[in-house]
Structure 1
Amino acid sequence: MSNNAIHHALRVDEEKCRGCCRCMSVCPTDAIRIRNGKPLIFQNRCIDCGKCYRACPESAIRVEQDDFNEIFKYTRRVALLPSILKGQFPETIPKQRIYSELLEMGFTDVFEVGMMWRVFHLATARFIKNNQVKKPFISSFCPAVLRLIQTRFPSLLDHVIPMKAPVDIAALFYRRQLLAQGVPDDEIGTFYVTPCAAKISAVKTPNPHERKILNGVINMDYIYNRVWKRIRGEEKSMPPEPLAETLCEKGVLWFLTAGESEYARGRSLAIDGIANVFEFLENMENEEISDIDFLELRSCDQSCAGGVLTSCNRFLTVERLRNRAERSKNAAPLKDPDRWDDIDDDTEYLVDHIMLGKIKPKPAMKLDEDMGRAMVKMERLRKILAFLPGVDCGLCGSPNCQALAEDVVNGDAVLRQCVFLQKKQVERGQMTLTDAGTILADVWGQNRLDGASIDLEE
């Protein structure tokens, strides 16, 4: 994979797909086309938000993940968990039981990523203090939102706080702890249990300027089902000493909506759901948004609790985590998030190593590298849109008329795929019904046309 390439976690299983095109209809970035009756994902537009995965009635969109057995390549096998995993289980299942099952599955260590919340808060506060001209600041917490800004709203990248992902910092922290104990670096494997397809993509996308910290990423749905099956299938005694609650209230809630913005200085907003985020970024790009200091943008409804790789109802997950946070108030008191005088050496080290370099845009709507040719294509695009009906029916195999026009200009489609233009050309004798049928077959597949009951001659 080249340095500029992006790994995508979402794949189409053509054997299962029946060509309903729901995936194309729900994609927020117009990344899906229909060709020969099957969806084709335009990789430069996909942000791995998982809307297509969730919408597919045939489970024909799958998520590529690491083989679980990869963990056994390492002597110390660390499971890095978001608090969302605990929220998948009924509250009657204690944390130590879940940890115990993870250890029996093969992990040697378990660590909750929420322990790193203060590192991020301190680093965010310092960055904002030193970069006051960039308001509103946008959190880089959600990988799908970051990818959305890179591809669709590159002009807003200067507003993004360029930080490493929380799980990367958790992996760096735990690796340092094991190295201090004398464990060789090549014997340490760190694996994130993710509720999010976009996180798989982010982990697998190489960054030429950063040392690889995570060794793998594992689907949370897979982990949950294995652990839950073991818990339900066995009457196993609990560990003699229950695990103390080490995660504070803030660490528990960090992965939910408002988990960051609640402690941000100034006026802050928390927005979840990719459609809501998209609309807000459009308003911001059009300079319709002002007087906001900090934006927390999360792709999924209810943030990570609504991740496409979770198993439990997101609202139940939120309720369970809020109850856990309430119990954590006394067990793991919240430190003053803005105090610098009481941080330890590890926290100071992580704050100093949390920032990334400049985040580069990856615009999907780039008509041409050459500005002159791009302007010519833009003019052609404008003319094509004037011919199209603007009904966004999707029968051409593109999600809307704008997307079809872009595809035509980029050589990915032909204007005659529009059924409205086909009808006009047939009426004028510029196209035969056979020609029209051939074009439709290229889009929807000959089998689909052969099964149609409508007689085109009528």
Structure 2
Amino acid sequence: MGKQQIYHALKVDTDICYGCTHCMNVCPTDAIRINDGNALILKKRCIDCGECLKVCPVDAIYVEQDDLEKIFDYECRVALVPAVFTGQFPTQITEEEIFSEMKELGFTHVFQAEYMVDVINNLMNEQIDQSEEKPLISTFCPAVVRLIQVKFPSLIDNIASVKPPVDASAAFYKKMLSNQGIPTDQIGIFYITPCAAKIAAIKGFGQNTNDMINGVINMSYISNKLYHKIKNRKDSLKDLPVLPHLSSKAMKWSLSHGEAEHMQGRTLSVDEIHNVIEFLEMLENDDIPEVDFLELRACDQGCAGGALLQGNRFLTVERIKIRASQLENEIEGDELKDHKDILQDKDLFITKIDPLPAMSLDQDFSEALKKMERIRNLMCYLPGIDCGACGSPSCQSLAEDIVQRKANLSNCVFMQRMMEKNRKLSSEHATRIIEKTWGKQRLDKDCRKKGAKNEGM
């Protein structure tokens, strides 16, 4: 098997970053180090959850996304829109108004990412009945799938094989347009994403890369642009082709509890990445009573808390629920039999997900045990303060980096003082070590830095 190519959407602008450690301190997989005064994202550990993006005080962390101009590479330009997108707008603004303005941006078609929810729901319930591995874990959140690959590989077999609705909806709509006579190479489907993890999933998440979606566009950028157009519009609406109404279930699917309440057996819903990690640790240790299905979301409130959303997540949830309540009497969505002439198994099911255990110390078990013992020995000397002054998020992380030959014991400022005291390290050498981590000018007087008397001048 060839090596999996994993794409990461989160990047660091080293011209802006000043190594404040905010990102390093919140990263749930210890994927960030400080080097030469900048944040450094370790690709093997990163799950694109976006926690670093949310806390960066200077917007030095950003997402690499497609430019809106890319849509004009295609004659048929489809915006694949999740329900949380409409939740960015006040409820007095109708979906028809929102989608009409999208046509003004250059899209020729708009389609809902949750259109296939009912089909996915039925397939998931069938899999819950048949699965020997319980609980079955939803594939909806790509950050959670990647988290399991990286940090909890023993739970890989618990991940469902049913694709999330966005993948199935994209496949359905592209094939439907193709059946109408539109050349496939002229159909461009662009997902309006609420998070970085979905960008990573679509652009190159292992062997399950989505080849039905041609690009990904930041939801914050699009929603802000549309809101101003709608607010300042003076002329009449430009009509788009009529879209099928989503069911109330589909409208709320991406929110916390949106999936779980429609699955069979005992189900649980857990959101926010640190809560998910705590829960998966309990599951791995068999501390969770029998559960049939787990809905796990990296963001608080589900996709309403995505890092690329412009609006407040709680207002987004309220707006979506109001819109969903208006659809409660609508007929439920389509079943698979309605689309069996269009969709194939590959459109609905993922291939086997392989573990990518970035947390393992060595592929050789005996070597891993030796390294673990060395880490425990190093922890006898490290202070256990977890100050981050070494450029690693914790003393444990520094010990792991030392064992993996990516750092030295002298990176710890406390150990530096002890080495200087015992004349095993010169003060000049200690200064060079600090400068290598934090940059040469970091310790110079600067009254313009954040919090200083001349901040921003």
Q: Common fold, TM-score beyond 0.5?
A: yes
Match in the other structure for 2:332: 334
Instruction: Answer whether contact 1:76 1:189 (CA < 8 A) is retained.
Output: yes
Match in the other structure for 1:82: 82
Match in the other structure for 2:124: 124
Please state whether the residue corresponding to 2:392 is helix, strand or coil: coil
Match in the other structure for 2:452: none
> Aligned equivalents of 1:270 and 1:361: distance in 2?
23
* Superposition deviation, residue 351 in structure 1: 6.2
Match in the other structure for 1:174: 173
Instruction: Answer whether contact 1:152 1:363 (CA < 8 A) is retained.
Output: yes
Please state whether the residue corresponding to 1:200 is helix, strand or coil: helix
* One-letter identity of the residue aligned with 1:93: I
Match in the other structure for 1:440: 434
* One-letter identity of the residue aligned with 2:194: P
Match in the other structure for 2:380: 386
> Aligned equivalents of 1:10 and 1:323: distance in 2?
33
| Structure 1 unpaired stretches of 5+ | 454-458
> Aligned equivalents of 2:207 and 2:318: distance in 1?
40
Structure with the bigger percentage of helix:
1
Instruction: Answer whether contact 1:114 1:247 (CA < 8 A) is retained.
Output: yes
* Superposition deviation, residue 99 in structure 1: 0.7
Residues 247 and 159 from structure 1, CA distance in 2 versus in 1: closer, same or farther, beyond 3 angstroms? same
Q: Given the alignment of the two structures, is residue 62 of structure 1 paired with residue 62 of structure 2, yes or no?
A: yes
* Superposition deviation, residue 254 in structure 1: 0.6
* One-letter identity of the residue aligned with 2:433: I
> Aligned equivalents of 1:160 and 1:101: distance in 2?
38
> Aligned equivalents of 2:64 and 2:169: distance in 1?
23
Match in the other structure for 1:456: none
> Aligned equivalents of 1:443 and 1:352: distance in 2?
47
Please state whether the residue corresponding to 1:199 is helix, strand or coil: helix
Matches within 5 A, 1:392-431: 392-431=386-425
* Superposition deviation, residue 162 in structure 1: 2.1
Instruction: Answer whether contact 1:9 1:201 (CA < 8 A) is retained.
Output: yes
Instruction: Answer whether contact 2:172 2:343 (CA < 8 A) is retained.
Output: no
TM-score (norm 1): 0.93
Instruction: Answer whether contact 1:85 1:224 (CA < 8 A) is retained.
Output: yes
> Aligned equivalents of 2:146 and 2:28: distance in 1?
12
The one of 342, 349, 354 equivalent to 1:360 is 354
1:199-246 CA-partner distances (Å, limit 9, x unpaired) = 001111165476711111111011112211211232132358996771
Matches within 5 A, 1:161-240: 161-205=160-204, 207-208=206-207, 212-238=211-237
Please state whether the residue corresponding to 2:287 is helix, strand or coil: coil
Query: Between Structure 1 and Structure 2, how many residues are aligned?
Result: 446
Instruction: Answer whether contact 1:119 1:350 (CA < 8 A) is retained.
Output: no
* Superposition deviation, residue 114 in structure 1: 1.4
1:70-105 CA-partner distances (Å, limit 9, x unpaired) = 111111111101000100011111111111111111
Please state whether the residue corresponding to 1:24 is helix, strand or coil: helix
* Superposition deviation, residue 433 in structure 1: 2.0
Instruction: Answer whether contact 2:256 2:271 (CA < 8 A) is retained.
Output: yes
Please state whether the residue corresponding to 2:434 is helix, strand or coil: helix
Matches within 5 A, 1:370-381: 370-381=364-375
Please state whether the residue corresponding to 1:156 is helix, strand or coil: helix
Match in the other structure for 1:270: 269
Instruction: Answer whether contact 1:140 1:163 (CA < 8 A) is retained.
Output: yes
* One-letter identity of the residue aligned with 1:154: P
Please state whether the residue corresponding to 1:281 is helix, strand or coil: helix
Please state whether the residue corresponding to 2:380 is helix, strand or coil: helix
Match in the other structure for 1:35: 35
> Aligned equivalents of 1:159 and 1:145: distance in 2?
12
* One-letter identity of the residue aligned with 1:110: V
Match in the other structure for 1:107: 107
Residues 254 and 239 from structure 1, CA distance in 2 versus in 1: closer, same or farther, beyond 3 angstroms? same
Match in the other structure for 1:254: 253
TM-score (norm 2): 0.93
Residues 348 and 107 from structure 1, CA distance in 2 versus in 1: closer, same or farther, beyond 3 angstroms? closer
Instruction: Answer whether contact 1:173 1:346 (CA < 8 A) is retained.
Output: no
> Aligned equivalents of 1:295 and 1:303: distance in 2?
13
* Superposition deviation, residue 421 in structure 1: 1.3
Report the more deviating stretch, 363-372 or 389-398. Answer: 363-372
* One-letter identity of the residue aligned with 1:385: M
Residues 240 and 76 from structure 1, CA distance in 2 versus in 1: closer, same or farther, beyond 3 angstroms? closer
* One-letter identity of the residue aligned with 2:70: E
> Aligned equivalents of 1:182 and 1:139: distance in 2?
35
> Aligned equivalents of 2:437 and 2:446: distance in 1?
14
Please state whether the residue corresponding to 1:447 is helix, strand or coil: coil
> Aligned equivalents of 1:436 and 1:226: distance in 2?
50
Instruction: Answer whether contact 1:32 1:42 (CA < 8 A) is retained.
Output: yes
* Superposition deviation, residue 371 in structure 1: 3.4
Identity %: 47
> Aligned equivalents of 2:41 and 2:209: distance in 1?
28
* Superposition deviation, residue 380 in structure 1: 1.7
| Structure 2 unpaired stretches of 5+ | 448-457
Please state whether the residue corresponding to 2:351 is helix, strand or coil: coil
Please state whether the residue corresponding to 1:144 is helix, strand or coil: helix
1:358-405 CA-partner distances (Å, limit 9, x unpaired) = 110111123223334333322222211222111111111000011101
Instruction: Answer whether contact 2:208 2:350 (CA < 8 A) is retained.
Output: no
Please state whether the residue corresponding to 2:34 is helix, strand or coil: strand
